[in-house]
Amino acid sequence: MGLFLQVSTVLVITVSLQGWHPLGCLQEERIALLHLKDSLNYPHGTSLPTWRKGDDRCCDWESIVCSSRTCRVTGLYLWSVRNQELGDWYLNVSLFLPFQQLNSLILMDNHIAGWVEKKGGYELQKLSNLKILALEDNSFNNSVLSFVEGLPSLKTLYLDYNRLEGLIDLKESLSNLKHLGLGGNNINKLVASRGPSSLNTLYLGNITTYGNMSQLLQSLEAFPNLTTLFLHHNDFTGRKLGDELKNLSSLESLYLDKCSLDEHSLQSLGALPSLKNLSLSALNNNISSGGFLHLRNLEFLNLSYNTLNNNNILQTIGLCDLNNLQELHMYHNNLSGFMPPCLVNLTSLQHLDLSSNLLKIPVSLSPLYNLSKLKYFDGSGNEIFTEKHDHNLSPKFQLESLYLNSHGQGARAFPKFLYHQVNLQSLDLTNNQIKGEFPNWLIENNTYLQELYLENCSLSGPFLLPKNSHVNLSFLSISMNHFQGQIPSEIGDRLPGLQVLFMSDNGFNGSIPFSLGNISSLQAFDLSNNSLQGQIPGWIGNMSSLEFLDLSGNNLSGPLPPRFNTSSKLRVVYLSRNKLQGPITMAFYDSSEIFTLDLSHNYLTGRIPKWIDRLFNLRFLLLSYNNLEGEIPIQLSRLDQLTLIDLSHNHLSGSILSWMISTHPFPRQYNSYDYVSSSQQSFEFTTKNVSLYYRGSILRYFTGLDFSCNNFTGEIPLEIGNLSMIKALNLSHNNLTGPIPPTFSKLKEIESLDLSYNKLDGEIPPRLIELFSLEVFSVAHNNFSGKPPARVAQFATFDERCYKDNPFLCGEPLPKICGAAMPPSPSPTSTNNEENGGFMDMEVFYVTFWVVYISWCCW
Ligand SMILES: *[C@@H]1O[C@H](CO)[C@@H](O)[C@H](O)[C@H]1NC(C)=O
Ligand SMILES: *[C@@H]1O[C@H](CO)[C@@H](O)[C@H](O)[C@H]1NC(C)=O
Ligand SMILES: *[C@@H]1O[C@H](CO)[C@@H](O)[C@H](O)[C@H]1NC(C)=O
Ligand SMILES: *[C@@H]1O[C@H](CO)[C@@H](O)[C@H](O)[C@H]1NC(C)=O
Ligand SMILES: *[C@@H]1O[C@H](CO)[C@@H](O)[C@H](O)[C@H]1NC(C)=O
Ligand SMILES: *[C@@H]1O[C@H](CO)[C@@H](O)[C@H](O)[C@H]1NC(C)=O
Ligand SMILES: *[C@@H]1O[C@H](CO)[C@@H](O)[C@H](O)[C@H]1NC(C)=O
Ligand SMILES: *[C@@H]1O[C@H](CO)[C@@H](O)[C@H](O)[C@H]1NC(C)=O
Ligand SMILES: *[C@@H]1O[C@H](CO)[C@@H](O)[C@H](O)[C@H]1NC(C)=O
Ligand SMILES: *[C@@H]1O[C@H](CO)[C@@H](O)[C@H](O)[C@H]1NC(C)=O
Ligand SMILES: *[C@@H]1O[C@H](CO)[C@@H](O)[C@H](O)[C@H]1NC(C)=O
């Protein structure tokens, strides 16, 4: 899908940000949404869990965008929501008709095979505002064209990756279409049989090869307004592509990313002199010809993700002759050494991206000083260095965006030219060992500065604020430096527009300043791993934009904050490794959006609250290393999105309940700041004395339960075998009795299983050997009897220590031989003792003896 997907993702993000509305929505639309949910979950799916009966705020439900003016639904982003197991889905057109202001309907990848509508058809045409209809990745055939015909406002139609075939005819009713996606189908001709078409952009990526490509390209002549053509992911070796497209007189933009283009096909592109935009990213072969660079009108050229080196840019390609070029992408290539000097001849250049190469880039940027129009430069992921003498020349450019995230040591001081820049909006100097004070002058000099990244820059001293209030700065990261002292009390007044503030891993002390509470736009706030003291301020509960809060690893004491208010958007909360005391009162009672809650390593007391089931989006719950007591409330075991629960090291008692573990994919969120929260997310989870640090994307897949080191009693519930996705289960150091349920052999994904230090008895189920992913296993210190599971597969690697201190257990790998004088067995389970002794055993022994084994078990 390549480029196409990227394009539509951008679209989704921008639309959804504008459309957020906190209030309710129309009742008829809410009911219609619930009908729609039922239909796409038919007969037993569980998608869209946030669409709930009884919740009025349907504009806040996932995948929905409402108009902030009318509160009506304007966008439905139902992307991959129907589970494959449910079989084909037939669109019931009536379900969409209540959404009178719907302008974007995204139904990608939902196994749609057709539609049903009332007799007479043409029901869909009542959606008179629908502008964008995305039906990619379904099973429609050519008849879908008559289905969408006559939608009066439709401008954009995506039908890529369906079952379209042969000739596609855009009849008059589709003549207003501007953007059409047909990639990934098996088509060989496109016509507009009844009059001129206004088609402007056409996606023909990955067209199946047994379609007739020449005929298809020739047929495009019938679309006189076609300016933009996406042909990515096709094989054009051996054909003169440029000549085949020559008759498309208005073609300005040609996208050939991920294509196979040999020397001849590349050279033939020279036949398209009116091209302004050309994209040749991630080609399947080396760029072996520069013929296409006779395109003197080229304004935009993307050569990213290829194998360009300094020689072929200059000689083979002659890149530096393109003096109309405004935008040049050469990131992810093999450019090395110093920047190609001929770049100075590209005097029209506004945007230059050389990131992720092997270049040495002087932090002074002196080779670029003559590029007076340059506004954007990305040199990140190269070696940034400081020249011996930072000269006093000043550049002709005024940059808006500068990215110099370094590999290696980086700059040692702020380059002098930065003192003359006044238009900066985005600046990234991450990983440069700059050593110095916080550059508050950058904020003062650059009124429009929005984003400033100074992570891991060896900066020290106090955090200096700009002298005046600076409303534009929305993203500031100064994590991983050596800043000290208190956070200035005026921070909220001087930087009132902050959305993201990251100050983790510094030496800040004192308390969290009051003025931060005035930053109503703050969405993400990370002060972790400092030396802050005091209490968590109460005003934090009133920060209505806050989604991500990390105060872990400080010396905060006192109670949890008071109740977050009902409009709270809080999703991720880390308060671990502090000295917080008292019970978990009502703090998160109204925070139903929370999906990560980490309160571990504190001094919390009392019970796990019964209202915990109000957090129905909860996926990660960490309450370990506290002083919690009482039983697990039944409400907790009903949270059907949970994938990771750590209650270890508390004083919890009572029986272990049966659990559900979510198997849903991680909920997709379209949010400006989502990428930050997912990369920042991390926490420790202990499996078998090994603390694993889970971070970022791994978290999406991890599922585990840790109830170790508590006072749980009773038997392990049979239903635990239903946790088929679980990877780690630790019930050690409790007071559990009874057998290991035979259902354990269904835990096919399990990697770590620890039942040690309990009072479990009976035989260890022999079928545990079917757990082929198991790497860590212990049942030591229990009352098991009979023989351990056969020493095959994973179980060949578990040695004596995994089983020790079970007085009635005998046979390999334990030294005790079965049938010898044994203490009387407490249970009658080991009836097959005789069969177990003798010759068979020796055979197993000889086989496993030769297995090179690593023991993963035990303390
Ligand atoms: C191209 O299309 C074929 C057939 O439709 C499909 O199997 C293949 O995965 C597609 N390739 C890409 C990169 O999308
Ligand atoms: C389609 O949806 C409408 C409205 O919910 C319903 O009345 C109708 O029975 C549905 N039709 C089919 C074939 O399921
Ligand atoms: C195309 O799809 C429609 C609607 O699902 C179906 O009725 C028709 O039989 C299909 N036509 C072909 C040729 O497969
Ligand atoms: C094609 O573009 C021209 C110039 O922009 C415009 O006048 C004309 O109406 C367009 N043709 C169609 C069929 O939209
Ligand atoms: C492809 O189309 C061209 C032009 O219409 C025709 O000359 C050629 O024979 C066709 N090739 C195949 C394999 O169908
Ligand atoms: C381009 O147009 C000319 C004149 O109409 C025609 O002779 C030629 O075959 C066309 N070329 C292609 C590749 O379609
Ligand atoms: C050319 O590319 C630029 C930059 O991506 C884009 O803004 C512009 O719309 C493109 N022009 C055309 C005609 O596609
Ligand atoms: C820039 O272009 C001029 C004229 O084409 C040429 O003489 C000069 O060598 C070029 N400069 C570099 C650094 O390539
Ligand atoms: C930017 O700030 C520095 C340090 O305060 C100052 O010397 C310089 O004159 C300022 N530059 C501009 C263009 O205002
Ligand atoms: C478990 O309960 C017993 C008796 O009720 C108590 O003495 C012991 O301290 C508890 N252990 C833990 C780890 O809470
Ligand atoms: C474990 O359970 C037994 C019997 O239920 C009880 O006598 C004992 O005190 C418990 N031990 C702990 C540490 O709770």
Q: Output the CA 221–ligand 6 centroid distance in Å.
A: 9
Give 197's contacts (C-beta < 8 A, 6+ positions apart). Answer: 170, 174, 175, 177, 222, 223, 225
**Residue 763's pLDDT is what?**
94
List the residue whose alpha carbon is closest to atom 11 of ligand 11.
Answer: 735
Query: Is 277's C-beta closer than 6 angstroms to any atom of ligand 7?
Result: yes
Q: Output the CA 390–ligand 8 centroid distance in Å.
A: 25
φ and ψ of 616, to 5 deg: -75, -5
Give 627's contacts (C-beta < 8 A, 6+ positions apart). Answer: 603, 604, 605, 650, 651
Of 492, 463, 488, 490, the closest CA to residue 477 belongs to 463
List the residue whose alpha carbon is closest to atom 4 of ligand 5.
Answer: 215
Output the six-digit token pair for 99: 């959404």
List the residue whose alpha carbon is closest to atom 4 of ligand 10.
Answer: 711
Output the six-digit token pair for 393: 């020349």
**Residue 793's pLDDT is what?**
85
| CB count in 10 Å sphere of residue 50 | 18
**Residue 342's pLDDT is what?**
80
Of 338, 345, 350, 395, the closest CA to residue 369 belongs to 395
CA distance 116 to 462: 66
Output the six-digit token pair for 486: 């208190």
Query: Is 183's C-beta closer than 6 angstroms to any atom of ligand 1?
Result: no
DSSP secondary structure letters along 479-522: -SSEEEEEPPTTHHHHSTT-SEEE--SSEEEE---GGGGG-TT-
List the residue whose alpha carbon is closest to atom 14 of ligand 8.
Answer: 342
Of 483, 430, 431, 476, the closest CA to residue 449 belongs to 476
Q: Output the CA 245–ligand 6 centroid distance in Å.
A: 9
Q: Output the CA 820–ligand 9 centroid distance in Å.
A: 88
Pick left, alpha or beta for residue 182 (phi over 0 → left; psi -120 to 50 → alpha; otherwise beta). alpha
pLDDT digits (tens, 9 = 90+) for 719-742: 888 888 888 899 999 999 999 999
Query: Is 60's C-beta closer than 6 angstroms to any atom of ligand 7?
Result: no
Q: Output the CA 418–ligand 10 centroid distance in Å.
A: 63
| CB count in 10 Å sphere of residue 268 | 22
List the residue whose alpha carbon is closest to atom 5 of ligand 2.
Answer: 95
Residue 51 DSSP SS3: coil
Please give the number of the atom of ligand 4 that sits closest to the Cα of 198.
14
- Ligand closest to Cα of 7 equals 7
Please give the number of the atom of ligand 8 that sits closest to the Cα of 345.
1
Best mutation site among 139, 160, 206, 210 for ligand 1, i.e. most ligand atoms within 8 A of its Cβ?
A: 206
List the residue whose alpha carbon is closest to atom 9 of ligand 8.
Answer: 342
Please give the number of the atom of ligand 7 that sits closest to the Cα of 227.
13
CA distance 30 to 511: 45
Sign of CA dihedral 573, 575, 576, 580: negative
List the residue whose alpha carbon is closest to atom 1 of ligand 4.
Answer: 225
Query: Is 344's C-beta closer than 6 angstroms to any atom of ligand 8?
Result: yes
**Residue 291's pLDDT is what?**
63
DSSP lists the bridge partners of residue 620 as 596, 644
| Whether the model pTM is above 0.85 | no
**Residue 313's pLDDT is what?**
65
Q: Residue 639 burial (CB < 10 Å; 0-12/13-18/19+)?
A: buried
Please give the number of the atom of ligand 5 that sits closest to the Cα of 213.
1
Best mutation site among 215, 216, 247 for ligand 6, i.e. most ligand atoms within 8 A of its Cβ?
A: 247
Please give the number of the atom of ligand 6 that sits closest to the Cα of 243.
13
CB-based contact 536:513 (threshold 8 Å):
no
pLDDT digits (tens, 9 = 90+) for 546-573: 999 999 999 999 999 888 887 788 988 9
Report the first-to-last Cα separation within the chain, whole angstroms: 49
DSSP lists the bridge partners of residue 665 as none
CB-based contact 737:711 (threshold 8 Å):
no
CA distance 197 to 222: 8
Of 48, 16, 11, 18, the closest CA to residue 33 belongs to 48
Best mutation site among 256, 300, 325, 350 for ligand 7, i.e. most ligand atoms within 8 A of its Cβ?
A: 300
- What is the DSSP pairing of strand 682-687 with strand 690-695? antiparallel
| CB count in 10 Å sphere of residue 152 | 12
Tell me how far CA of residue 43 lies from CA of 37, 85, 441, 640, 661, in angstroms.
11, 10, 62, 19, 21
Sign of CA dihedral 613, 615, 616, 618: negative
Please give the number of the atom of ligand 4 that sits closest to the Cα of 225.
1
CA distance 779 to 772: 17
List the residue whose alpha carbon is closest to atom 9 of ligand 9.
Answer: 419
Which value, in Å, is the radius of gyration of the alpha carbons in the chain?
Answer: 32
CB-based contact 744:721 (threshold 8 Å):
yes
**Residue 856's pLDDT is what?**
30
Sign of CA dihedral 46, 50, 56, 60: negative
Query: Is 233's C-beta closer than 6 angstroms to any atom of ligand 1?
Result: yes
- Ligand closest to Cα of 251 equals 7
Of 558, 459, 580, the closest CA to residue 508 belongs to 459
List the residue whose alpha carbon is closest to atom 4 of ligand 8.
Answer: 345
**Residue 124's pLDDT is what?**
81
List the residue whose alpha carbon is closest to atom 2 of ligand 9.
Answer: 441
**Residue 174's pLDDT is what?**
79
Best mutation site among 90, 94, 119, 126 for ligand 2, i.e. most ligand atoms within 8 A of its Cβ?
A: 94
CA distance 797 to 803: 12
**Residue 506's pLDDT is what?**
97
Best mutation site among 111, 143, 148 for ligand 3, i.e. most ligand atoms within 8 A of its Cβ?
A: 143
CB-based contact 295:319 (threshold 8 Å):
no
Sign of CA dihedral 817, 820, 824, 827: positive
Query: H or E stretch including 254?
Result: strand 253-255
Query: Is 184's C-beta closer than 6 angstroms to any atom of ligand 1?
Result: yes
- Ligand closest to Cα of 164 equals 3
Output the six-digit token pair for 554: 């400080």
List the residue whose alpha carbon is closest to atom 7 of ligand 2.
Answer: 94
**Residue 830's pLDDT is what?**
34
CA distance 485 to 459: 13
**Residue 494's pLDDT is what?**
96
Of 532, 521, 693, 710, the closest CA to residue 598 belongs to 693
Residues of the chain with confidence (pLDDT) below 70? 1-24, 209-211, 289-293, 311-318, 390, 659-702, 820-859
Could you give the count of Cα atoms lying within 13 Å of 84 in the half-sphere of its Cβ? 3
CA distance 172 to 230: 23
**Residue 328's pLDDT is what?**
95
**Residue 522's pLDDT is what?**
94
pLDDT digits (tens, 9 = 90+) for 52-79: 888 888 888 889 999 988 889 999 999 9
CB-based contact 809:786 (threshold 8 Å):
yes
Q: Output the CA 297–ligand 8 centroid distance in Å.
A: 19
CA distance 27 to 53: 11
Tell me how far CA of residue 756 lies from CA of 37, 829, 858, in angstroms.
45, 20, 9
CA distance 191 to 227: 17
Query: H or E stretch including 377?
Result: strand 376-378
List the residue whose alpha carbon is closest to atom 5 of ligand 10.
Answer: 711
Query: Is 179's C-beta closer than 6 angstroms to any atom of ligand 7?
Result: no
Q: Output the CA 243–ligand 6 centroid distance in Å.
A: 9
CA distance 750 to 171: 56
Q: Output the CA 37–ligand 1 centroid distance in Å.
A: 30
Q: Output the CA 103–ligand 7 centroid distance in Å.
A: 24
φ and ψ of 664, to 5 deg: -70, 150
